[in-house]
Amino acid sequence: MIARLRGRLAEAGEDHVVVDASGVGYLVQCAAKTLARLPGPGEPVELRIVTQVREDSITLYGFETPLEEQWFRLLQGIQGVGARLALALLSVLEPDAIARAIAAQDARALTRAAGVGPRLAARIVSELKDRVAKMAPAAGVPPSRATPGAAALPAGPVEDALAALEQLGYGRSEAFAVVARVAGELGEGATVEQLLSQSLKALGR
């Protein structure tokens, strides 16, 4: 089973690369964001590999970081998400962005991936919210949420501040990350006005 591949980039396509390792060309499927970071043809390249064996095929999937590989495996644990959809998600969202979307219960952000509809996005959020809470902050979730049950929506002033930022046009995942950080800095007892004011400063407004 191939777990890592090092060689030279022989060629690149829209969804794959061919890595020349000791004269053998390995076709490796990659997410768009991974492809965008790889060097040009002829340059040295090293990829973490997930090998999937089927009755009629052996497919290699390549990743630059352990976190990308972890999310590729994690997403496929959801019913209806196979390798193709997992790569589609990683093609439009970095791993930390996926984690924030799940923590914020922002299913809409996940529907940016081709083939991921509202129902499937909601299932991903529902089934992975507890896992994301346990993975934080390595998963990209703000530290103030890295506690048991942290994936549940915030209540009171925090939720009100989050709703206000959404009304101002900020995406839920972006607003969630900022409000969660500000709430952690201000501590318990922070008012909606304080949370909103500090969050807008952090957002540059």
pLDDT, residue 155, reads: 58
The pLDDT confidence band at residue 130, using thresholds 50, 70 and 90, is confident
Task: Mention the CATH class of domain 153-205.
Answer: mainly alpha
In 10 A of CB 200, how many CB atoms?
A: 17
The rounded Cα 79 to chain-centroid distance in angstroms is: 18
Encode pLDDT of 136-194 as tens digits: 554 445 444 433 333 344 457 877 887 788 777 777 777 777 887 888 788 777 788 88
Q: pLDDT for 22-34, tens place per residue?
A: 999 999 999 999 9
Domain 66-147 has CATH 1.10.10.10: no
**Cβ neighbours of residue 190 under 8 Å, at least 6 residues apart?**
157, 182, 183
CA distances from 88 to 94, 121, 202 (A): 11, 12, 31
Close Cβ partners of 18 (under 8 Å, ≥ 6 residues apart): 9, 10, 11, 12, 25, 26, 27, 28
Domain with CATH 1.10.8 in the chain: 153-205
**Unique residue bearing structure tokens 């997930």:** 50
Intervals of CATH 1.10.150.20 along the chain:
66-147
In this prediction, residue 205 has a pLDDT band, given cuts at 50, 70 and 90, of low
The ranges of the chain annotated as CATH 2.40.50.140 are 4-64
Closest CA to 97 of 148, 140, 154: 140
- Give pLDDT tens digits for 74-97: 999 999 999 999 999 999 999 989
pLDDT of residue 165: 80
What is the CATH code of the structural domain delimited by 4-64?
A: 2.40.50.140
Residue 204, judged by CB atoms within 10 A of its CB (0-12, 13-18, 19+), counts as: exposed
